[in-house]
Homo-oligomer: A and B are copies of this chain.
Amino acid sequence: MKRPTIVEVAAHAGVSKATVSLVLRGSDQIPEGTKSRVRESMVALGYVYNRRAAEMRSLRSKTLGLVVANMRNPYFAELTQAVAGRAYSNGFTLLLGCSDDEVSRQQEILRAMIEHRVDGIALLPATRTTSRDLESSLVQAELAHVLIARSVVGYGSNYVGPDNRVAGRLLGRHLGEKGARSVAFAGGVSGTAPRRDRIAGLVEGLELTGGRLSSDLPSARDALFEAQRELNGVLGGASTLPDAIVGYNDMYAFGVMNALRSRGLEPGRDVMVAGFDNVPEAATQHPGLTTVDGFPQRAGAEATELLLRTLGARRQSVRVRLSLNRSCESGCRRRCTKRSPAMESCEPRNAHASRRSD
């Protein structure tokens, strides 16, 4: 039951501990004969390297921490996969924590990870995280860290993720060009950096094209299901519909689509709908959802690389891109001169026609 240590291996092979240690790390100072003898002993005894003991002595943990708000948003899941992959391919072990979007829990997880002596932490912060929270944990511990996907108001450094302002601008301009004059924004938690930036960008983009943000619908917690409920409330009292509704993210946008349908309205035909993120499901919904691609794979990979290089304070944006789909085709209808033979002439579905950000 008890696993053999290098002491046992050394005795079995008739060498010293130090020699075994050198063999373990493939030193080229040990002649082949000794090496193979030691290796045979390891096999014979069923030796398993104890990485933690090694790291303890050498004072490097070769470990990274990832704390995410939740896993239900496919964007976050994909990010997590990318971080795990990058950590792995660099020989790092990844500790995962899930805050359930609660700051107190997040702080406890961070603390535990710091006690574990991770070399760095990638944090997808809980919605209500303040810069003070970060100061009292990551900064105070002088730990290399990077925020992914969500930046925090008042905490400018070490962010890797979409530039939400540019993303909003891309979408705003697109909607304006499609003929949207009044646009509503739905979902997200007000006061948070991503929401603020997306709205700011949206307004800028709309202004370029003659549209405007007509309302800012109240927000809710659980995107997929709550957006639908809240929207029902708002639309119920509204006398006129906006030309377009932009969800805080794709999950909200899906909820918006449902809310519209439950009122007998067809998204894309009666009201344009758009989101942010470009989760895989965006292309497979009906109609496909026009959204801004936030490239989670790239964000996760770059955040990890940044962490690994222990680069100092930097702010890094992942390029965003419009992902055009049918959910915004109503504007197209009004403006396209020839509608036949197919709508596709106006906007290809799933074609990822791209309009890159500057």
Contacts and interface: CB of A to CB of B under 8 A. Distances in A.
A142 B1 contact: yes
A50 interface: yes
A81 interface: yes
A218 interface: no
Given A48-B141, A52-B52, A284 B254 contact: yes
Contacts of A66: 96
Interface stretch (A107-115, A127-135, A163-171, A193-201): A107-115
Given A114-B48, A281-B281, A72 B61 contact: no
A69 to B, nearest CB: 10
A312 interface: no
A93 interface: yes
A113 B254 CA distance: 39
Taken together, the copies of this chain in the complex come to: 2
B95 A51 contact: no
B95 A95 contact: yes
Interface in A69-99: 70-72, 74, 77-78, 80-81, 84-85, 88, 93-98
A342 interface: no
Given A258-B284, A284-B258, A116 B96 contact: no
A261 interface: yes
A123 to B, nearest CB: 14
A105 to B, nearest CB: 8
A95 B96 contact: yes
Interface residues of A, number: 50
A280 interface: yes
Given A74-B74, A254-B284, A94 B96 contact: yes
B97 A84 contact: yes
A95 B52 CA distance: 13
A53 interface: yes
A49 interface: yes
A77 B79 CA distance: 11
A95 B98 contact: no
A224 B284 contact: yes
B74 A98 contact: no
A352 interface: no
Interface in A99-157: 100, 105, 109, 112-117, 141-142
Contacts of A52: 52, 55-56, 61, 116-117
Contact of A51 (B98, B112, B258): B112
Given A51-B115, A81-B71, A96-B95, A284 B255 contact: yes
10 contacts: A48-B141, A51-B115, A52-B116, A74-B74, A74-B77, A84-B97, A94-B97, A257-B286, A261-B286, A285-B286
Given A66-B96, A93-B113, 8 more contacts: A71-B71, A74-B77, A80-B80, A80-B96, A84-B98, A85-B98, A88-B105, A254-B281
**3 tightest Cβ-Cβ pairs between the two chains A and B:** A71-B81, A96-B96, A77-B77
